[in-house]
Structure 1
Amino acid sequence: MKFWNRSFIFLALSLVLVLAGCGTKSNSAGSSASDNTASSTTETSTDDAAQKKLEIKTSFYPMYEFTRHVAGDLANVENLVPAGMEPHDWEPTAQDMAKLTEADVLVYNGAGLESWVGQALDSATGSNLKAIEASQGIDIMEGSEEEGHSHSHGDEAHADDHDHDHGEEAHSEEEHDHEHGEHAHEEHSHDESGHVHNHGGLDPHVWLSPQLAIQEVRNIEKGLSEVAPEYKEQFKANADAYVTELEALDNEFTEGLKDSKRKDFITQHAAFGYLAKQYGLTQVPIAGLSPDQEPSPAQMADIVQFAKENNVKTIFFETLVSSKVADTIAKEIGAKTDVLNPIEGLTEEELAAGNDYVRVMRSNLEALKTALNE
């Protein structure tokens, strides 16, 4: 009897252990399924996050550079103007227009540089495209295509020292509002062909002043925060970090240029008015606002005379257009040439070398320091 009881107890214990083992396996399987579900949920969340990335197009290099710093990894940012191409006369292709129609955001400089923007926004009506004008609220200076005709020794000779209010008064009486969502955009005047014209010769090169570049970055931050308010804090943190870099750059320019022996410099076209004004300098452009404008013989003679009278030893040219005019003047007066980059676009080689806005601006500073202290 005792043997039977012991056998019964043994069998009962064995059954408990078997059942416990099954339970363990069952729990293990359940845990594995739970893990798989969690993994699947994580992957879905990751996919959703990837799908929520903003698709942003930018009009040319500085807008791309500023935007990618603000957007960080929350957006796919693509520049429309190809590397190495001068943006003043660039026009979007049908393929570019298709990209814009599919994009969430277009970031552009404004102030008359991108003559195609008005028509592009009109063509994108009905899409979800939101436009951000980076120069909004900045006092835009007037620039004249005839700036190269005469140069005196004082600031009064240069049109780039006059501010122009970049508001409702900056445009002609024929104005069109482009509304995309809640955003009102730059007003443009159109001819019969639909092309946007820049009345008054506004100088768009605001990004060449680090202080104004900061304002453009903040405008981009504000615009992106309105488009995707759920990312507002991230956009602000990204913008704050980049603004810190730009503030350091501004300090470097202030300190590097304040004790220069001379204050005037000759440059290929009138792109550096904002920079000159910010740091107490005077640009003497060979030509006007358009980089490919050919100076007249009278303009050439005037520049040569100015250079000789003021013992100018450096004539600045830029990378995206021919340097032949600068070379001719330098040869005439026995000066050298050097690059002062308006950063309207970087070449493939410059990008491959790791150049960016801040790095090129520092190169510009060193070039100016050398030329102004010769």
Structure 2
Amino acid sequence: MNTINKIILFLFAIVVMSCQSGKIEKENNLLSVSILPQKYFIERIAGDDFKVNVLIPPGASPATYEPTPMQMTGVAKSIAYLRIGHIPFEHAWLSNLIEGAGEIKVVDLSKGIELVKGMAVKHGDHFHEGGIDPHVWSSPLSVKIIAKNTFETLVAYAPEKKGEYEKNYNAFLVELEELDRMALEAFQAKQGKSFMIFHPALSYLARDYGLNQISVELDGKEPSPTHMKHLVEEAKSKGINQIFVQKQFNVENAKAIMAEIGGEVIQIDPLSEDWLSEMKRIINILKD
């Protein structure tokens, strides 16, 4: 653990001890989550019935972000932490976040999803937990399961609202079904199509709809000159003329590759709070 992490944990301990001396009070409608799409899913089902403490803010990476003392205090006041599943942020911080949170339920929203697994995947100075690709929210099929888990959690905390939440949940499922059909139609004739992306954030979309995701990152690091050369050759051989880059990552290496083949760099944001609109945009770009 680096010095900054230690300082943050020390400050958090002071805050928690201060709260506990006066009996920390839970906010009975406060939920903590890891990423912005989870806030979107909660609000599609429960409207504004719950306040949502999002730990990873817009533009930050789930691989490197460190929570602030204020966010940690928000977790301590929450009745539940809805984890997205297996992102590095949760692997590194969740146990510390809930340690001082008193009675707090932790719900794994990825429960029931067929996870993409492989060898341990290294990203910079951390590993994806258990070799699991963590980007479960990148596919409509996975999000159907996430939505179901979210719905059941919300009903458990507000059983009197079950009818209302079920209506909203079913309406959201209809939109997810439409997104699924959109993807099936878009990629039906493109099975095996390759696309290039800086960070492998669309693994589940690729898996579920027969696409081949090529990551510019190598072992979680920016590519070496040798790997850059290989990527250029691979892009040319597969007719790839664009690279996706998440807004949380540097675009310079992607630009260098595209300069060699005369293509374009396209910025995407699967971590957008407006998850549905961004996924439609990504699918529309990929189908061309």
Bin the TM-score by the shorter chain.
0.7 to 0.9
1:309 partnered with 2:237: yes
The amino acid that maps onto 2:175 is E
* Alpha-carbon separation, structure 2, partners of 1:301 and 1:146: 22
CA deviation vs aligned residue, 1:47-73 (integer Å, no higher than 9, x gap): xxxxx9611222111111111212223
2:110 maps to 1:135: yes
Deviation at 1:101, TM superposition (A): 1.0
C-alpha deviation, 1:243, in angstroms: 1.3
- CA deviation profile, 1:186-208 (whole Å, cap 9, x unmatched): xxxxxxxxxx9744331011111
Distance 1:145 1:329 in 2: 27
Once the two structures are TM-superposed, the CA of residue 345 in structure 1 deviates from its matched residue by: 4.2
1:276 corresponds to which letter in structure 2? Answer: A
Select which of 233, 252, 256 maps to 2:163. Answer: 233
Displacement after TM superposition at 1:357 (Å): 0.9
What secondary structure, in the 3-state scheme, does the structure 2 residue paired with 1:73 have?
A: coil
- Indicate the residue corresponding to 2:22 in structure 1: none
Distance in 2 of aligned mates of 1:362 and 1:91:
30
Q: Which residue of 2 aligns with 1:360?
A: 278
The more displaced of 216-225 and 109-118 is 109-118
**2:52 alignment partner, SS class:** strand
Matched, 1:253 2:183: yes
Match of 1:91 among 66, 78, 81: 66
Q: Contact (CA 8 Å) 2:269, 2:278: kept in 1 or not?
A: no
State the 1:317 CA deviation.
Answer: 1.8
Match of 1:79 among 54, 66, 75: 54
Aligned to 1:318: 246
* Counterparts of 2:219 and 2:120, CA distance in 1: 6
Does structure 2 conserve the Cα–Cα contact (< 8 Å) formed by 1:108 and 1:131? yes
Residue of structure 2 equivalent to 1:272: 202
Query: Could you say which residue in structure 1 is the equivalent of 2:45?
Result: 70
Partner of 1:216: 146
| Contact 2:116–2:132 (CA under 8 A) maintained in structure 1 | yes
Three-state SS of the structure 2 residue aligned to 1:74 is coil
Is 1:369 the counterpart of 2:283? The answer is no
Q: Distance in 2 between matches of 1:251 and 1:111?
A: 27
The DSSP-based 3-state class of the residue aligned with 1:214 is helix
> Taking structure 1 as reference, are residues 107 and 309 closer, same or farther at Cα in structure 2, changes over 3 Å only?
same
- 8 Å Cα contact 2:191/2:209 also seen in 1: no
Shift of 1:75: 1.5
Q: What letter is aligned with 1:321?
A: F
Q: Runs of 5+ in structure 2 lacking a partner?
A: 1-26
TM-score, length basis structure 1: 0.63
SS state at 2:30 partner = strand
Aligned equivalents of 2:75, 2:121: Cα separation in 1: 35
Question: Cα distance 1:53–1:136, how it changes in 2: closer, same or farther (>3 A)?
Answer: same
- State the match for 1:338 in structure 2: 266
Alpha-carbon contact 1:264-1:281 (below 8 Å) kept:
yes
User: Does 2:49 match 1:119?
Assistant: no
**Paired letter, 1:142:** K
TM-score computed with the length of structure 2 as normaliser: 0.81
Deviation (angstroms), 1:298: 2.7
In 1, Cα distance between equivalents of 2:230 and 2:238: 12
Q: Which amino acid aligns with 1:259?
A: A
Q: How does 1:146-295 map to 2 (within 5 A)?
A: 198-260=128-190, 263-287=193-217, 290=220, 293-295=221-223
Check 1:99–1:66 CA distance in 2 against 1; reply closer, same or farther (3 A cut): same
Task: Give secondary structure in 2 for the equivalent of 1:265.
Answer: strand
Aligned-residue RMSD, C-alpha: 2.6
SS in 2 for 1:362: helix
Gaps of 5+ in 1: 1-51, 149-195, 347-355
What amino acid is aligned across from residue 270 of structure 2 in structure 1?
A: I
Equivalent residue pairs, number = 259
Taking structure 1 as reference, are residues 358 and 345 closer, same or farther at Cα in structure 2, changes over 3 Å only? closer
Distance 1:87 1:199 in 2: 13
The DSSP-based 3-state class of the residue aligned with 2:130 is coil
Letter paired with 1:307? A
* CA separation of 1:215 and 1:96: change in aligned 2, threshold 3 A: same
Distance (whole Å) between structure 2 residues aligned to residue 244 and residue 250 of structure 1? 10
Larger Rg: 1
* Deviation sequence 1:256-289 (CA, Å, 0-9, x none): 1212386111111111111011111111111158
